[in-house]
Amino acid sequence: MDESRSIPVGPLTVAVAIAAAFAQATGAHAQAAAVPLQLETKIPLGAVTGRIDHMAIDLKRRRLFVAELGNDTIGIVDVGARKVVHRISGLKEPQGIGYVAATDSLYVANAGDGSVRIFRGPDYTPAGRIDLGDDADNIRVDAAANRFFVGYGSGAIGIIDVASGKKVGAFPLPAHPESFQLDTASGRLFVNVPNARSIAALDANTGSRRAMWPMRHGANFAMALDRERRSVLVVFRHPAKFAAFDMQSGATAAEVDACGDADDLFVDAKRRRVYISCGGGFLDVLNASDPGYPRIARIPTAAGARTSLFVPELDRLFVAVRARSDTPASIWIYRPAP
């Protein structure tokens, strides 16, 4: 442009430019604030390869336990320092993890040899082993009853006494259990049994089957309980659907599309939201205040990042991201907003 013919810049022009810039910045801030999960940080796990499975938390030490299944290890992450501080090796495809604060004990379920390994204290000293048979999987701690449950084998949930570190019983199932949840209010254990295309409702003390709800969709792996609505929440992989079932009758209360290859599902009771982590590379956020559970956001993550852990006490969602050619193995931490 010929400088001799440039447009004069006066006070009005400057004011308009400032107003436009402010509006643009305000709009960008509002758009960011509208996203219900904000990526806060990424913590690298180091030289970890293969699939990453479930997680657990030690709230007192603020340490996150990560089942590095493909690596045969457990990564221990200091959440405050944002780094890996320890690694337990010599495992056999660790899948489920449970931590019991009362005894400062870590329990690791191994798919490769069907064992539950016990580690104690701040240094995670080996403290025992429980052999269940094969494919030890999800763990759920029942702190009030001083026990925990472990899904395993071709169809059973083992009951482990925390004090003795021994198996004290088992509940039979028609096929291998995936995610399951304990409802202490009703004394029932709800279990996903995908190979039987069903959800089992068991008495948590006797193991007697109170109900077996047939599912019209397949691969029901992830499960959570919406205690406010008294609903069992499940995500299917075939097809990718989220559904809510009445906790008493098993009737379908809601169903919506979900992201693909889901493996974990959590309820944020404070905000009345549902978080779903999917191996398809997304987090789905649903509105639990609405009985239809409509989706309010779909947030990109990374391919294969299908396991997660929501910790209400820390108000954070931890997502496990496996190593890829362009993505190192890491834990992505999301902060709910507002």
Residues 192 and 223 sit within 8 Å (Cβ to Cβ): yes
Q: Are 135 and 156 in contact (CB under 8 A)?
A: no
| HSE-up of residue 111 (Cα within 13 Å, Cβ side) | 20
Query: Rounded to two decimals, what is the model's pTM?
Result: 0.90
> Among residues of the chain, what percentage have pLDDT more than 90?
89
The mean pLDDT of 1-30, rounded to a whole number, is 44
Kindly state the average pLDDT of the residues 165-176.
97
| Average pLDDT of the segment spanning 71-99 | 98
pLDDT number for residue 209 = 97
In this structure, what DSSP letter does residue 7 have? P
Helices then strands, counting H and E runs in the chain, come out as: 1, 28
Cα dihedral sign for 273, 277, 280, 281? positive
Per-residue model confidence (pLDDT) at position 13: 47
A 10 A CB-CB count for 181 gives 19
pLDDT at residue number 34: 81
Q: How far is CA 284 from the centre of its chain?
A: 12
Q: What stretches of 145-187 adopt beta strand conformation (E)? A: 147-152, 156-161, 166-172, 180-183
User: Is a pLDDT exceeding 80 seen at residue 8?
Assistant: no
Average of per-residue pLDDT across 5-17: 44
Give the mean model confidence (pLDDT) for residues 144-166.
97
Q: What is the mean pLDDT of residues 322-337?
A: 95
Q: What is the pLDDT of residue 12?
A: 44
DSSP state of 259: -
Phi, psi of 244 (to 5 degrees): -115, 135
How many Cα atoms sit within 13 Å of 328 on the Cβ side?
A: 7
7 vs 114 pLDDT, higher one: 114
Q: What whole-number distance in Å separates Cα of residue 139 and Cα of residue 277?
A: 18
> If we measure between CA atoms, which residue out of 269, 247, 245, 239 comes closest to residue 336?
269
pLDDT of residue 31: 44
Q: Judge whether residue 320 has pLDDT over 70.
A: yes
Q: What is the mean pLDDT of the chain?
A: 92
Confidence of residue 327 (pLDDT cuts 50, 70, 90): confident
What pairs with residue 334 in β-bridges? 39, 317
pLDDT value, residue 203: 98
Give me 52's structure tokens.
Answer: 């990453």
Backbone angles phi, psi at 125, to 5 degrees: -70, 130
Dig out the tokens for 35 from the structure.
């996203």
Tokens representing 116 are: 């539950």
Q: Where does residue 175 rank: exposed (0-12), middle (13-18), buried (19+ CB within 10 A)?
A: middle
Tokens 């193991």 belong to 207
Helix (H, G, I), strand (E, B) or coil at 69: helix
CB 253 within 8 A of CB 291: yes
| Amino acid at residue number 118 | I
Domains of the chain, start order: 40-172 (2.130.10.10), 176-338 (2.130.10.10)
Q: Is residue 91 helix, strand or coil?
A: coil
Q: What is the pLDDT of residue 128?
A: 96
Other Cβ atoms less than 10 A from the Cβ of 81: the count is: 11
Q: Which amino acid is at 178?
A: E
pLDDT tens-digit readout, 53-72: 999 999 999 999 999 999 99
pLDDT, tens digit (0-9, with 9 covering 90-100), for 171-225? 999 999 999 999 999 999 999 999 999 999 999 999 999 999 999 999 999 999 9
- Percentage of residues in the chain with pLDDT exceeding 70? 90
pLDDT(24) > 80: no
What's the pLDDT at 213?
A: 98
In the predicted model, what is the mean pLDDT of residues 155-172?
97
**DSSP three-state, residue 31:** helix
Instruction: Find how far residue 318's CA is from the centre of its chain.
Output: 8
Look at residue 28 in the predicted model and tell me its pLDDT: 40
Least Cα distance to 162 among 180, 178, 137, 144 occurs for 144
pLDDT at 21: 46
Query: For 241-299, how does the pLDDT look when each residue is reduced to its tens digit (9 = 90+)?
Result: 999 999 999 999 999 999 999 999 999 999 999 999 999 999 999 999 999 999 999 99
